[in-house]
Amino acid sequence: MTMAPKWNCVLEAKAQVGECPIYAHEQHAVYWVDAYAPSINCLDLRTGANRSWKLPRTIGSYGLAADLRSCVAALADGLYRFEFASGALTKLHNAPYDVKHYRFNDGRVDRAGRFWVGTLRRFSSQEPEGRGAFWRMEGERLVRAIDGVTIANGIAWSPDDRTMYIADRPNWQILAFDFDIANGAVSNRRTFARVPEGIIPDGAAVDEEGCYWVAHPRAGKVVRYGPGGDLLREIPTPVSCPTMVAFGGESLKTLFITSARALLTGPGELDREPQAGAIFSLEVEARGVSEPRLK
């Protein structure tokens, strides 16, 4: 008989769309965002206190500065520097797209300290699929790095920095690229793993063995793929809409997930899932990889 995983609810956040958990070891805290009730948050795991900074527009993702005093925030109309002490927003880049049709979505810092962020075609847009992109921020430049994206998700890198992963919902697949950490170049686009049609590969993380962990909202599970794309494990989650995974804790063996309430639109769904939008943790055998910071 298989034992059910022992998930722990670490914050009853009731997030509309909780996303982008990042563990900060200096503070023993998890940073995260609520995309549609836009805010950046910091959950102190020692006290359970959650500090929230409200934002003026939808946020897709962010990257933490090395000193944790600020971050780069990908808002709907561009990239901003956000100062935690003052709450000040300073625009760094205008959105490189038509804001009527697109917004920024999933993003992450690579181990050279560059911030990457992809676009999402708005659900109200009639734009053709595949017109979006992943962008790479390099100082004062914003470089279009990967084309052919509709809903950017699942960005991660292998521990040796030789492979980059992304997921794009309409293709029902996770993609891999050869990656050059020195200059950020990507090449050799290929399918890493396929998911059943209707299953959404969302936010992801990689462990030290090179395995790729990804949340499947609506399917109520987290999936672990081997470095070759083989399915190794499926872990049921306490809610049906987990959105992203992250490793944390002193040994990096605590798996954190964010989740969403906004995706539960059917009759009685929220009544059946009162913890939707919460943040959960699970102790796992695999050890994660520390999250890089901006340079």
Helix (H, G, I), strand (E, B) or coil at 169: helix
Distance CA(106)–CA(170), nearest Å, equals 15
**Which stretches of the chain are DSSP H helices?**
269-272
Amino acid at 74: A
Residue 93: closest CA among 110, 112, 73, 107: 73
138 Cβ neighbours under 8 A, 6+ residues apart: 114, 184
Given a contact cutoff of 8 angstroms between Cβ atoms, the answer to whether 181 and 110 are in contact is yes
Q: For residue 153, what are its two tokens? A: 């998700």
Catalytic residues: 202
Residue 239: closest CA among 274, 281, 282: 274
Residue 258: closest CA among 273, 280, 291, 289: 280
Residue 138: closest CA among 108, 114, 104, 112: 114
Number of helical (H) and strand (E) elements in the chain, helices listed first: 1, 24
Q: What phi, psi does 203 have (nearest 5°)? A: -75, 145
Distance CA(138)–CA(134), nearest Å, equals 13
